[in-house]
C-alpha cells in the first residue's frame, strides 16, 4: 500500500482549511470527551478554539492541560489531520468581540457571523491554544 501520510506543507494547509474539528480532552472519571468545535489555525501556529471557562470542555482542558483536535474531509477522497499537544488558556476581554466575531465569520460568513457573534459571548469566554506536538495524517487520495 502506498504511503498515505501528508507532507508537512499539505498537513498545514489542510488544517488551516475550513473544517469542523473534533476536540478530544482527557477525563479522569471516564472516556475522553470528544465533541465538534469551530477552530482556527494558521500554518506554524497554534490551533485555537473558543469556549467558556465554565463549560465542560473549558473545565476539562484546564484540568488536563492537553487536548487533541481532528479535522477531516468527509467526501472522497477522505483525508484527516489530527494534532495533539499542550493547551494554553487565555481569558478574553468581555468587551472585545473581535475573536468571537472572526471565528463566527470564518464559519458563517460575514452577515450571519456578525449576528451570531453579537449574541454568542459569555462572561467567562476563553481561548484554548493547542500547540501541535504530534501530527497524525492520512490522505486516501495520495
Tens digit of pLDDT for each residue in 39-84?
Answer: 999 999 999 999 999 999 999 999 999 999 999 999 999 999 999 9
Mean pLDDT, the chain, whole residue set: 94
Contacts 24+ apart (CB under 8 A), 97-105: 97/121, 99/50, 99/127, 100/50, 100/125, 102/40, 103/38, 103/40, 103/48, 103/50, 104/38
Cell numbers for 53? 471557562
- The pLDDT-based confidence of 27 (bands split at 50, 70, 90) is very high
Q: Binning pLDDT at 50, 70 and 90, where does residue 3 land? A: low
pLDDT in tens, 99-110: 999 999 999 999
Residue written as grid cell 500554518? 43
| CB neighbour class for 128 (10 Å; exposed up to 12, middle 13-18, buried from 19) | buried
Average the pLDDT over 10-25 and give the result.
97
Amino acid at each position: 500500500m502506498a504511503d498515505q501520510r501528508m507532507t508537512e506543507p499539505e498537513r498545514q494547509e489542510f488544517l488551516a482549511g475550513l473544517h469542523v474539528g473534533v476536540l478530544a480532552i482527557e477525563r479522569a472519571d471516564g472516556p475522553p470527551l470528544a465533541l465538534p468545535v469551530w477552530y482556527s489555525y494558521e500554518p506554524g501556529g497554534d490551533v485555537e478554539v473558543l469556549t467558556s471557562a465554565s463549560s465542560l470542555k473549558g473545565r476539562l482542558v484546564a484540568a488536563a492541560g492537553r487536548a487533541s483536535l481532528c479535522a477531516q474531509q468527509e467526501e472522497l477522497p477522505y483525508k484527516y489531520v489530527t494534532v495533539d499537544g499542550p493547551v494554553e488558556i487565555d481569558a478574553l476581554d468581555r468587551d472585545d468581540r473581535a475573536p468571537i466575531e472572526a471565528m463566527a465569520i470564518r464559519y458563517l460568513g460575514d452577515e450571519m457571523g456578525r449576528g451570531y457573534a453579537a449574541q454568542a459571548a459569555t462572561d467567562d469566554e476563553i481561548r484554548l491554544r493547542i500547540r501541535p506536538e504530534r501530527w497524525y495524517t492520512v490522505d486516501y487520495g495520495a
